[in-house]
Amino acid sequence: MNDSLMEVFKVEATELLSELESALLELETASGDKAVIGRVFRCLHTIKGSGAMVGCNEISAFAHELENMFELVRQGTIPVCKMLTDLTLSSVDLIHTMLDDPDSQTAQKQVKEIISALGRLGSLIESREHSVRTEAVFETQSPETDWAKEVTNVSALVDNSGKLATFRIFFCPNSDIFNRGMNPVPLLNELRQLGECEVLACVDALPDLYELNPEECHTYWSVILTTTASIDSIRDVFIFVEDDCVLKIDVIGEHSSAGDLPSKKLGEILVEEGEVTREQLAEVLGKQKRIGEMLVEEGLVSPSKVQAALMEQQHLKELREKHGDRSAASVRVPAAKLDSLVDLVGELVTVRAGLNQLAFSKKIPELRSLAEHVDRLTAELRDNTMSLRMLPIGVTFSKFNRLIRDLSTDLGKEVILTTEGAEVELDKTVIERLHDPLVHMIRNSIDHGIETPEARIASGKSRQGALHLSAEHSGAHVLITIADDGAGLDKDAIRARAIEKGLMSQNSEQSEKEIFSLIFAPGFSTAQKVTSVSGRGVGMDVVKRSIDSLGGSIEISSEEGSGTTITLKLPLTLAIIDGLLVKIGDAHYVLPLSFVEECIELTGGDAGKAHGRKLVFLRKSIVPYIRLRDRFSISGEAPTAEQVVIVETVDGKIGFVVDKVIGQHQTVIKNLGKIYRNVTGISGATILGDGTIALIVDVPKIVKSSVLEEISQAV
Amino acid sequence: MSKVVMTVDDSASVRQMVNFTLKNAGFQVIEAVDGVDALSKLKQTPVHMLITDLNMPNMDGIELIRKVRCLSSAQKFVPIIMLTTESQPLKKQEGKTAGATGWIVKPFKPEQLLAVMKKVLG
């Protein structure tokens, strides 16, 4: 980077110097022309600035000297004279020499000579300027200290003492800060990064809606922050706004360990803040009510002040609990015990549904309120139990650091891994089964996606490839993204390979998404050569299968030249799924909702049009269907109007004919037990609210076996 | 979606340095050589942030900041960081009065630039 920057600077400086030269010559003839002096000044100024940026400190300091001189000329304190232009012109030549050979000893000597000559010239004219100048010299010699004064500690800096302290920060920006493009939110986020932080936005100064000017800020913030950072680094967070806000930072407690964290009463905090006096407090304390309410009622403090104080109290309490209980923070429990707990909770959920039904039909108010109570408790119990099985995905992420390091060394590539959302929690089983697919995809990214350092530089990217792993919540799902900034997928190569393998026909038009999904086909690889890592085409199909078995889905987006992003959508837990409840005969079945595309009616006409074949028309395309009634050998007559649930799996779209679609159902999955382990087509069971059992249909298995049947029949 | 940042400076070295640093950090960068150029580019492409030098020919940084803050579009609220070799409080004050969000004193290191970006862009 330095070399290329240096080159740019040289070119730029040479241009500026010739501009400077011509301006100086012009100045000799038209001395005192303000515009020309301005030109000289700006040239010098830019050389100074750019020089310092690329590390040519001598040139920068020298230019600064000259600039100071011309500043005086510009102000009219000293006139333009022959001696000044002479000196400046020889400076121009000198800077040329310094550009070519920055370490030249003679040049440095000459610089000193010129500077002292300028000094003499300056002192000749007026001695006062001299002192101004020397002061300025000092300034450029230490740009670092300058900077340090300006923007220090912007990223979370921990002060040396490492002592934990809690601060109360009151931040009230002026209402016009938006007009300066200032957004308070990043500042608050910066505070959050400094330590344990509670932020309360106070909106009691907010005017009524019809008076509100949305371009003004009426919110102020009260923040409690426990951090090892010093008060100065907290103040530095607000450096850009300190003149445009009311900022109060107080230490409310210093503590080397959490044991001596203060426990303060609400009233004490308010007294300390100076919001009420001790006498006022004592007076209201006499009328026993909630202290916060009382203070507000008395009109002594605003509700948000009380809220802020409450927050502070809570913050300290939590902090103490957290630190205090660290020793007993976790208990190891065998997984089997957890599983049986989950099972029991599942059954409780079922019983609850039964109880609810009964309570609503019996019209006994007492029973009903009892049922509602049980309802709420069960829901909480279920959520809590499920969360016991949850593990943060960060554990898995951190394992990949080593993998990436080794792989990239093997392949001669440079890769930096960044991760995000390590705290996102997933069911233990899901995490365990996610490891191998993730390894596959990371390998793919490094081997196929990210280019060699040389190729990256050639295409204008940084030497090091970036690989980003992230996890985030999205409803009842977790999205896991693997993104690289490599070469991206080569659409044409995939297409060509697919045609070659007979996966698609020569002239079929397919969308980007469809083409990308081809890489999940078994045995598919566009790699020219097989390496120890990849190229055999085994991998992505395995990945797809394991993600499917977890009830998840994969999506790829890629842009040639700028990288590939693979997104996995996984259910939070395997113990509960979203299902579609259907009815065949007297029995209920559940189809996992992740497979279901849509539901349509099956009319007699359809069956007739297909000439006896089991095909249904879906928006001009033909979808084969399977009668679950036949498949499960259910006796009895089918109703005249049946319904088709269209599902989509790796093996394609297919319709399941059922008697009736009932609707969505939160399904607690139960094992069928040893005896039924070998039953194909059923993956488990669930108990419905009324106590009946619904079987969960193993959609991919049924589709697969039907496809195989079809093929064997055709042969 | 990467954020778009405009760097306004008459010095190619500074532009290149800012551009290089920000591209590496995942920003999209638009370069402008002076205030006039910046304003006309702003009208074509909205940006999330502006980094401007103060001393420039045609239209200087202070004037540019003033003009941007008077725009009628939402662009008038973008954060503006002024780059300056002048650490004199007067120049800084002038910039602030014109509506600059923050400042960096040249010369600066890439990390320092990114830290300031984080402060105003989040």
Q: Does B41 touch chain A (CB under 8 A)?
A: no
Which chain A positions have a beta carbon within 8 Å of B101's beta carbon?
A: 180-182, 240
Which chain B positions have a beta carbon within 8 Å of A11's beta carbon?
A: 12
Predicted confidence (pLDDT) at residue A155 exceeds the cutoff of 60: no
**pTM of the full structure:** 0.41
Give the Cα separation of A704 and A319 in Å (integer).
55
List the single residue in B with minimal CA-CA distance to A242.
B102
- A361 pairs with which residues across the strands? none
Q: CA of A238 to nearest chain B CA: how many angstroms apart?
A: 9
> Homologous superfamily of A576-714 in CATH?
SH3 Domains (2.30.30.40)
- Higher-confidence residue: B114 or A275? B114
Q: CA of B105 to nearest chain A CA: how many angstroms apart?
A: 6
List the single residue in B with minimal CA-CA distance to A48.
B85
Give the residue-averaged pLDDT of A428-457: 83
A52-66, A263-277, B10-24, range with the lowest pLDDT: A263-277
Say which CATH class A392-571 falls into: alpha beta
Would you kindly state where each structural domain of chain A is located, as residue ranges? 2-150, 164-324, 335-389, 392-571, 576-714
What single DSSP character describes residue A637?
A: P
Find the CB nearest B87 among A1, A5, A146: A146
Do B118 and A139 make contact, defined as CB atoms within 8 angstroms? no
Task: Check residue A511 and give its pLDDT.
Answer: 74
Confidence at A526, pLDDT banded by 50, 70, 90: low
Give the Cα separation of A573 and A580 in Å (integer).
17
Do A49 and B77 make contact, defined as CB atoms within 8 angstroms? no
Measured between alpha carbons, how far is residue B17 from residues A8, A75, B9, B106 in Å?
Answer: 10, 32, 11, 12
Phi, psi of A468 (to 5 degrees): -120, 125
Give the residue-averaged pLDDT of A271-288: 70
Q: Does B65 touch chain A (CB under 8 A)?
A: no
Do A185 and B122 make contact, defined as CB atoms within 8 angstroms? yes
- Number of Cβ atoms within 10 Å of the Cβ of A199: 17
Give the residue-averaged pLDDT of A686-697: 81
- Do A470 and A575 form a contact (C-beta atoms < 8 A)? no
Do B118 and A1 make contact, defined as CB atoms within 8 angstroms? no
Give the residue-averaged pLDDT of A660-686: 80
Do B118 and A190 make contact, defined as CB atoms within 8 angstroms? yes
Choose which CATH entry (2.40.10.10, 3.40.30.120, 1.10.10.10, 1.20.120.160) describes domain A2-150: 1.20.120.160
Do A240 and B119 make contact, defined as CB atoms within 8 angstroms? yes
pLDDT in tens, A657-671: 898 898 877 777 777
Say which CATH class A164-324 falls into: alpha beta
Q: What is the helix (H) or strand (E) element at residue A34, kind and residue range?
A: helix A34-54
Which CATH code is given to the segment(s) B4-121? 3.40.50.2300
Do A12 and B80 make contact, defined as CB atoms within 8 angstroms? no
Find the CB nearest B107 among A53, A180, A186: A53
Predicted confidence (pLDDT) at residue A272 exceeds the cutoff of 80: no
ipTM of the predicted structure?
0.84
Predicted confidence (pLDDT) at residue B6 exceeds the cutoff of 90: yes
pLDDT in tens, A340-390: 887 788 778 778 877 887 888 888 888 888 888 888 888 788 778 877 777
pLDDT in tens, B35-64: 899 999 988 888 999 999 888 888 888 899
- Higher-confidence residue: A675 or A526? A675
- Higher-confidence residue: A408 or B78? B78
Give the residue-averaged pLDDT of A71-75: 78
* Spatial strand order in the sheet of A465-474: A415-420, A465-474, A477-484, A563-571, A553-559
CATH topology of domain A335-389: Helix Hairpins (1.10.287)
pLDDT in tens, A2-60: 567 777 788 888 888 888 888 888 777 776 677 888 888 888 888 887 887 777 888 88
pLDDT in tens, A583-636: 998 889 999 887 888 888 887 665 555 556 678 878 878 888 888 888 888 888
Task: Check residue A535 and give its pLDDT.
Answer: 46
A62-71, A150-159, A521-530, range with the lowest pLDDT: A150-159
Task: Check residue A703 and give its pLDDT.
Answer: 84
Q: Does B42 touch chain A (CB under 8 A)?
A: no
Chain A interface test: which of B6, B10, B11, B88 (most A C-beta within 10 Å): B11
Task: Check residue A263 and give its pLDDT.
Answer: 59
Find the CB nearest A50 among B11, B111, B118: B11
